[in-house]
């Protein structure tokens, strides 16, 4: 469906307020993002040049400095939470007390997504039991074990393996159980860095060999360097200091911060020149947003140089 076939179902004032509340952390992130998307309210917003956004992707980038994949993740979290609400968030007819819908981490939502939608409430309920009946401690491992028990018609284990040593972030702080999987997977960034280094050692000699007559070894090396730098900046670094891992607007609902989010605010002069040359208003822009914009420019324009050079 193209843009001309879509019709907003909220006013421009409501759409602007949603964006303002999201940026200020005054509303549930995933719920507000979903409403802005499903109501087509994004069509009523304007970019820095006072033009209506041509797509949802451009709106997310312009309003929040994030990618469409990030927004899709928030929408999936809202849909999954809503799906779990009937058994877990419904009012008790005897007490008239409403149980709040579960607050889900990204890793839990992804693991739940591997099961059939109609089974997700039962799988999550079993995962909560495995976590000691505390929804705040549910991890992707609990969900996986619960799903295997229900789908495989086996009795779910009563406990989940706990790491022998405390899981800690790069700042030496203990990681809450719901983020154990995240920081365990983060170790794979080291393997990724090793593999890219190995590829970098090969590409230049290969480009100079008879077999590499059509391979630009130097350009290949620089692109691998850019990928290596981007992966380094994307690595989970530490739990969010604001929410302590539970998820908030400041950390995008993830509960942790990546390396690029810890570089502080303020653009460097080369960054400002790159963005301003392309008509992008840099007033009030943070280093994190500038880095994302430059990453997008590098990909769209096919830069043969490392994005790292643009951030110096």
Scanning the structure block, which residue is given the tokens 């939608």?
A: 117
Q: Select from 37, 49, 47, 50 the least CA-distant residue to 8.
A: 37
Rounded Cα gap, residues 71 and 56, in angstroms? 9
User: What distance in Å separates the CA atoms of residue 41 and residue 53, rounded to the nearest whole number?
Assistant: 11
- Tell me the Ramachandran region of residue 133: left when phi exceeds 0, alpha when psi lies from -120 to 50, beta otherwise: left
- Least confident piece of the model among 42-46, 204-208, 221-225, 237-241: 237-241
Neighbours of 221 (CB within 10 A): 19
| pLDDT cut 70: percent of the chain above it | 78
Distance between CA 224 and CA 234 in Å, rounded? 15
Whole-angstrom CA distances from 39 to 9, 20, 43, 240, 302 are: 5, 16, 9, 31, 35
Token pair of 253 as six digits: 């609902």
State phi, psi for 242 to the nearest 5 degrees: -80, -50
pLDDT above 80: residue 20: yes
Tokens describing residue 49: 């040049």
Confidence class for position 89, pLDDT limits 50, 70, 90: very low
- φ/ψ of 295, rounded to 5, equals -60, -45
Percent of residues, the chain, with pLDDT higher than 90: 11
Query: Which pLDDT score is estimated for 177?
Result: 84
Note whether 17 and 3 are within 8 A (CB).
no
Confidence band (pLDDT; 50, 70, 90) for 209?
very high
Strand, coil or helix: what is 259?
helix
Q: What count of other Cβ atoms lies within 10 Å of the Cβ of residue 99? A: 13
3-state helix, strand, coil in the chain (%, to 5): 60, 5, 35
Average pLDDT, the chain: 77
> Using 50, 70 and 90 to split pLDDT, how confident is the model at 11?
very high
pLDDT at residue 102 is higher than 80: no
Tell me how far the alpha carbon of residue 134 is from its chain's centroid: 24
Burial class of residue 257 in the structure, from the number of CB atoms within 10 Å of its CB (0-12 exposed, 13-18 middle, 19+ buried): buried
- The dihedrals phi and psi of 134, each to the nearest 5 degrees, come to -115, 105
pTM above 0.95, yes or no: no
For the ranges 105-119, 184-198, 215-229, 273-287, the lowest mean pLDDT is seen at 273-287
Q: Where are the alpha helices (DSSP H) in 90-215?
A: 106-112, 120-130, 140-151, 180-185, 188-208
Bigger pLDDT: 68 or 2?
68
Would you say 34 and 253 are in contact if contact means Cβ atoms under 8 Å apart?
no
- The mean per-residue pLDDT over the stretch 73-89 comes to 71
Q: Tens digits of per-residue pLDDT, 130-155?
A: 888 888 888 888 888 888 877 654 44
Report CA-CA distances (Å) from 235 to 71, 191, 310: 19, 12, 20
Give the pLDDT mean for 84-104: 49
- Supply the pLDDT for residue 69: 82
């Amino acid at each position: 469906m193209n843009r001309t076939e879509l019709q907003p179902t909220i006013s421009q004032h409501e759409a602007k307020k949603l964006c303002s509340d999201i940026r200020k952390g005054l509303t549930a992130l995933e719920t507000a993002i979903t409403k802005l998307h499903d109501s087509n309210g994004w069509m009523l917003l304007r970019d820095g040049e006072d033009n209506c956004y041509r797509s949802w992707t451009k709106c997310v980038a312009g309003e929040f400095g994030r990618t469409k994949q990030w927004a899709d993740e928030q929408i999936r979290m809202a849909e999954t939470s809503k799906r779990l609400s009937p058994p877990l968030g419904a009012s008790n007819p005897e007490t008239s007390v409403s149980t709040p819908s579960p607050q889900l981490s990204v890793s839990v939502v992804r693991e739940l997504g591997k099961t059939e939608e109609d089974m997700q409430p039962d799988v999550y309920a079993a995962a909560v039991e495995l976590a000691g009946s505390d929804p705040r401690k549910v991890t992707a491992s609990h969900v996986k074990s619960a799903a295997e028990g229900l789908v495989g018609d086996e009795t779910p284990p009563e406990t989940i393996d706990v790491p022998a040593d405390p899981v800690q972030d790069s700042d030496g702080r203990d990681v809450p159980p719901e983020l154990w999987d995240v920081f365990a997977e983060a170790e794979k960034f080291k393997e990724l860095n090793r593999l890219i280094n190995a590829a970098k050692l090969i590409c230049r000699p290969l480009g100079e060999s008879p077999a590499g007559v059509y391979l630009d070894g130097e350009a290949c090396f620089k692109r691998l360097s850019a990928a290596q730098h981007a992966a380094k900046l994307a690595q989970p670094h530490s739990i969010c200091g604001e929410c302590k891992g539970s998820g908030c607007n400041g950390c995008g609902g993830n509960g942790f911060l990546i390396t690029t989010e810890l570089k502080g605010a303020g653009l460097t002069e080369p960054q400002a020149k790159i963005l301003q040359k392309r008509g992008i208003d840099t007033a009030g822009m943070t280093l994190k947003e500038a880095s994302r914009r430059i990453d997008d420019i590098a990909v769209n324009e096919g830069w043969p140089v490392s994005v790292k050079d643009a951030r110096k």
